[in-house]
Amino acid sequence: MIEVKNLSASYSDKIVFENLNFTLQPASFTALCGRNGAGKSTLLSLLDGIIPDGLKVSGEILINGKNVFALKRSQVAKEISYLVQYENPVWNLSVRDFIETGLYSFNEMSRTECDKAVLQAAKTLNIEEFLAKKIFNISGGEFQKCRLARCLVQNSSILLFDEPAENLDLAYQSKLLQKIKETQKNNTVLFSIHDINTAALFADNYILFTEKTVVTGSASEIFTEQLLSKAFDVKVKIYSHPEFNKPQICFLPLNN
């Protein structure tokens, strides 16, 4: 469970967001949406207990009842799996070894247990066939899958994904979100995503940034023309998906 209470964040010359209050229950699959620069990545970082340099933070974040800022990094890693938006690896590890770095806080695991966990995470994302490859020799999309597998190998109760579908083709984006939703159905999952129509197809709940704060709720509460127009500063029309009966958004030119 994630509980955010009166959370505000700002730099000396900029307010990122103010007075965020929301709760994410276990077994929830929530999309984090909003314009570029709205604060999505900053929020995810704070939920993982990481305060960016120069950021002033007030308020409280409880992770399974614990103050995330009071936990050691090794303790956070056992509660949360966090996929950052960008990553430039330094070491040319094998895919197997790269995924296993997600287990750095689990020193009590045997070699057999580590190997089993890595293989299971790789199978979940269908990348077991190139476990022996070096990460410098795979594509950007394949590396993204490896990064996701490194998160899943932790078997954490909370998963925070910053743009998990980045660098993936359109078909695999849908497959990925469906796979995560199916395999992590008992966990708290929060993922940021730019494609709001994809979010509408897979998420059960939504956090939408608008005017330095957030609105939370179900699709019927979030996907309104008035609210989305305000959040993205553009005219929108909302239609129903012909097959899944989910809302789909059409962004319109401002002169319409």
Question: Using one digit for the tens of pLDDT, what is the confidence trace for 103-159?
Answer: 987 777 889 999 999 999 999 999 999 999 999 999 888 999 999 999 999 999 999
AA identity, residue 103: L
Residue 58 CB burial class (10 angstroms; 0-12, 13-18, ≥19)? exposed
* pLDDT score at 211: 87
Q: Where are the domains of the chain?
A: 2-252
* pLDDT score at 106: 79
> pTM of the full predicted structure?
0.93
CA distance 149 to 98: 9
Number of Cβ within a 10 Å radius of residue 64: 14
* pLDDT score at 143: 92
Closest listed residue to residue 32, CA positions, set 189, 173, 149, 178: 189
Helices (H), 10-168: 40-47, 73-79, 95-100, 111-124, 140-152
Q: For the segment 164-194, what is each residue's pLDDT rounded down to a tens digit?
A: 987 777 778 888 898 899 888 899 999 999 8
Kindly tell me if the per-residue pLDDT of 5 is higher than 80.
Answer: yes
* pLDDT score at 254: 64
Fold (topology level) of 2-252: Rossmann fold (3.40.50)
Kindly tell me if the per-residue pLDDT of 17 is higher than 70.
Answer: yes
Q: How confident is the model at residue 255 (pLDDT cuts 50, 70, 90)?
A: low
